[in-house]
Amino acid sequence: MSTTKGSVSDTSSRAPLAPWRADDHDPHGHVVQFYSEDRSLIETLGQFIGSALEAGDAAIVVATEAHRHRLAEELKARGIDAPSAIEQGRYISLDAVEAMAQTMLDGWPDETRFADHLGRVISRARLAAEKARRSNGPLIIEPRVVAFGEMVALLWAEGRHPSAIRLEQLWNDLAKTHSFSLRCAYPMGGFHRQEHSEPFLRICTEHSAVIPGESYTSLKSEAERLRNISQLQQKAQALEAEIVQRKEAQESLRQREIALREAEQNAAMGKLAAVIAHEINNPLEVIANVFFLLRDHPSLDDNARGLTRIAEEEISRVRHIANQTLAFYRESEKPISVSLNQVLDAVLEIYARPLKSQGIAVEKNYGREREILAYPVEIRQVFVNLIGNALQAMPDGGLLRVGIHDSSETIQGSRRTGLRVNISDTGVGVPAKYRDRLFEPFVTTKAEKGTGLGLWVSRGIVQKLGGSIRFRSGKIGGKTRTSFSVFIPTGQEAPENVS
Amino acid sequence: MPAAKTATILCIDDEPTALSVRRLLLESAGYQVATAHSGEEGIRIFKSQPIDAVIMDYWLSGMDGIEAARELKRIRPAIPIVVLSALTELPGESIGAADRWFLKGEDPAYLLNAISTLLEARA
C-alpha cells in the first residue's frame, strides 16, 4: 500500500507552506505539534485534515469533544464538506476519552487493544476513501490516510507521562502494519517544569518531525526564524543562569534557616545554662570555701586533711565541667572593647600561686596596649584554658611565654588583619596520637584530671569572633615546646602581601 | 603579717550562709571583715567606717551589685571592688564597674590572691 508524494496539494490560502509542513505528506510520518493557543492548533489541524479530505483522502481524528467541535467549524469555514466525507466513511471523528477507554487495560495502553481498535479504524477509512474514488472513475492513485491523535495529550495532562510515551510507541508500532500519516499535539503549557525536560525530549524522539509552537511557526521568513532561535537560546541561557541562582539562593536560605534554628536552640540553652550555672555556682562557692578553710584546720588529723583535699579536687572538677559546658551556650549580647593585655594579666594573676609553687618563669611580650571586640568572660575563658593547660604540662617547672603581636591570616579566602596571642610552654608536649583530635570535645591528654572540653570550648569562642586557634608541639634543641596561637581578626581586610 | 592583711574588707551578699563562710575565709587570711546583706546596707556601712576593699555579689535583691559598686566607686573611686557572680558571664557594660570579678565556686585561693594584689597595689 503506498501513495505518491506530492499527489496532495495544500489548498489552504491562510498560511504559506512552512518547511516543517513537508512531513504532512509523508505516509509514515509521525509528527508532533506543540502549541500555546487552541486557535493555533485548530488552524493547523484544519489545514492538515482539510487538505486530505479535499484531495479525496481518508482522515481520522481522535480528539476531545471541544476540539472536534471547533475543528468541524474550521473545516466548514475552509469550505470543506466534512459531513459528506463522514457519510462516505472516509472521515472518522472519534472522541479521545472513549477511544482511550477502548485501548487501555488497567490504566496502561494495551498493545493488542490499541492495534485492534485503531487498526480497524484506519483500514475502514482507507477502504471508504478507495470506494469514493472508484465511484468517480478508475482508481489511479490510492488514497492516503491522515490521522490526528490527542489521547497522548490527555494522558500527559493527567500526569500519566509514561503512559503517554507508551501510547506514542504504540502509534509507531501500528505504522509498521498500516500506512498513515499521523499528527499528535500537546499544549506547550503542559511542559512548564524543569523535570519535564527529559520526557519532553523522549516525546520528540518518538516522532519523525516536530512542529514547534506558533510563536515560531508564525514567523514568515528564515531571517525571522533564525532571530527567534537566537532569542530562544538567549532566554534558555538566562533561565539556566536564573535556575542556578535560585538554587543557590534556596540553599543559602536553607543554611540561614538552619543557623537561625541553631541560634534559637542556643539562646534557649543559654537561658537554661544561666539558670543552671547560677544554681550550681552559688552552693559550690560555699562548699569550696568550707573545704578551703578545713584544709589546714588544726582540729583535723592527717587522714581527715587528706580527705578534704580529695573533696577539693572533686569540687574543682565539678566547677570545671559545669563552667566549661555552660560557657559554651551564651546569650548574645554586643561584644565590647577588651584589652588583651589586661585579660592576659588577669589570667596570669589567677594562676599566680601555681606558677610560683611549680617554679614556672613567665616571659611576657605584649608590646603596646591592644584591644579587641569580644565578650570579656569568654575571651578570659579562652586564656584561662590555654594558660591552665600550659601550667598542667609543666608540673616540674619551666618557661611560660605569653606574647601579643599584630598579624594577619587568610580566613575563608580573604586576608584579615588582627592580633595574635601566642602562649608557649616547655612542658611535656602533646602526644602525637592526640594532635589531630585535640580540639574535639572530651579529648584530653590529662587522663582523669581533664574534661576534654577546654580546647573545644576555646576554639568555639575564638571561631565566634571570626578567628582561629592553631598549635605546634615538638622538640627544639632537645627541649619540648608547645605553642598555641590564637588569631583574632580586628575587622579590616589587608592586601594579600601583608604577612 | 603584711600591712595589707590588716585591712578591712566589706562583704555584701544577700545569702547569709555564703556571707558567713566568706567572712571565715577572709578572716582566716588575716583580714577584718564587715558584712552587709544588701547593697543599701553596704553603702551605709561603707560611709560609716573605714573600708579597704569590697567583695560583693553581683545579683543582689533590691539594689543590684553593679549599681551598688558604681555608687561605692562614686563615693571613693580608688576603692578596690571585687564582684562575685554565679552566672558564667556578666553583661559587658558591668565589667568596668569592678576591679576584678570572679565566678562563684572558683578556687578561693584566687580570690584571696586578687584581694591581696589589689590592696598591695593601692598601698
Residues of chain B found within 8 Å of residue A346, distances taken between Cβ atoms: 100
Chain B residues within 8 angstroms (CB to CB) of chain A: 15, 17-18, 21-22, 24-25, 28, 59, 84-93, 95, 100, 103-110, 113-114, 117
H helices within chain B, ranges in order? 16-28, 39-48, 65-75, 108-122
Could A316 and B113 be called an inter-chain contact, meaning their C-beta atoms sit closer than 8 Å?
no
Q: Which CATH superfamily is domain B4-122 in?
A: Response regulator (3.40.50.2300)
The answer to whether the CB of A422 falls within 8 A of the CB of A403 is yes
Query: Which pLDDT does position A453 carry in this prediction?
Result: 66
Mutate to test the interface with B, among A271, A280, A289 (most CBs of B within 10 A): A289
C-alpha cell at A471: 598549635
Give chain B's radius of gyration (CA, Å): 13
Could B88 and A273 be called an inter-chain contact, meaning their C-beta atoms sit closer than 8 Å?
yes
Residue A343 falls in which region: left (phi positive, over 0), alpha (psi -120 to 50) or beta: alpha
- From CA B66, how far away is CA A440, in angstroms rounded? 37
Among A432, A433, A435, A475, CA closest to A455:
A435
Question: Bigger pLDDT: A41 or B93?
Answer: A41
Query: Which pLDDT does position B85 carry in this prediction?
Result: 82
Encode pLDDT of A455-480 as tens digits. Answer: 877 888 888 888 899 999 888 778 88
Mind telling me how many Å the CA of B94 is from chain A's nearest CA?
10
Residues of chain A found within 8 Å of residue B110, distances taken between Cβ atoms: 350, 353
Query: Which pLDDT does position A434 carry in this prediction?
Result: 76
| For A285, nearest residue in chain B (alpha carbons) | B105
Query: Which pLDDT does position A447 carry in this prediction?
Result: 53
Could A336 and B17 be called an inter-chain contact, meaning their C-beta atoms sit closer than 8 Å?
no
Mean pLDDT by 10 residues, chain A (499 residues): 38 46 63 92 93 94 96 96 95 95 93 95 95 84 92 93 93 92 93 87 88 84 88 89 90 84 71 74 90 89 88 80 60 69 86 87 91 81 88 91 90 81 92 76 58 74 86 85 92 52
Encode pLDDT of A118-147 as tens digits. Answer: 999 999 999 999 999 888 887 778 899 999
ipTM over 0.95: no
The answer to whether the CB of A65 falls within 8 A of the CB of A95 is yes
Residues of chain B found within 8 Å of residue A326, distances taken between Cβ atoms: 88
Residues of chain A found within 8 Å of residue B104, distances taken between Cβ atoms: 281-282, 284-285
Residue A484 bridge partners (DSSP)? A423, A471
Which residues of chain A from 267 to 296 reach within 8 Å of chain B, CB to CB?
273-274, 277-282, 284-290, 292-293
Could A376 and B109 be called an inter-chain contact, meaning their C-beta atoms sit closer than 8 Å?
no
Distance of CA A26 to the CA centre of its chain: 46
Dihedral sign of CA atoms A155, A161, A166, A170 in order: positive
- From CA A333, how far away is CA A378, in angstroms rounded? 12
A277, A284, A346: residue with CB nearest B88: A277
Distance of CA A55 to the CA centre of its chain: 56
- From CA B16, how far away is CA B31, in angstroms rounded? 19
Mutate to test the interface with B, among A271, A282, A329, A371 (most CBs of B within 10 A): A282
Q: What is the mean pLDDT of residues B73-94?
A: 80
- Residue A311 forms contact with B (CB below 8 Å): no
Query: Which pLDDT does position B72 carry in this prediction?
Result: 95
- From CA B26, how far away is CA B5, in angstroms rounded? 9
A282, A350, A377: residue with CB nearest B86: A282
Q: How many residue contacts between A and B have a Cβ separation below 8 Å?
A: 98
Q: Residue A345, exposed/middle/buried by CB under 10 A (0-12, 13-18, 19+)?
A: middle
A292, A323, A375: residue with CB nearest B103: A323
- From CA B25, how far away is CA B11, in angstroms rounded? 11
Instruction: Name the CA dihedral angle for A326, A331, A336, A342, rounded to a multiple of 10 degrees.
Output: -10
- From CA A117, how far away is CA A102, in angstroms rounded? 7
- Residue A348 forms contact with B (CB below 8 Å): no
| For A320, nearest residue in chain B (alpha carbons) | B106
- Please state whether the predicted TM-score (pTM) of the whole model is above 0.95: no
Query: Which pLDDT does position A14 carry in this prediction?
Result: 44
For residue B90, how many other CB atoms are within 10 A of its CB? 21
Residues of chain B found within 8 Å of residue A273, distances taken between Cβ atoms: 88
- Residue A465 forms contact with B (CB below 8 Å): no
Helix axis angle for A38-54 and A65-77, nearest 10°, is: 60
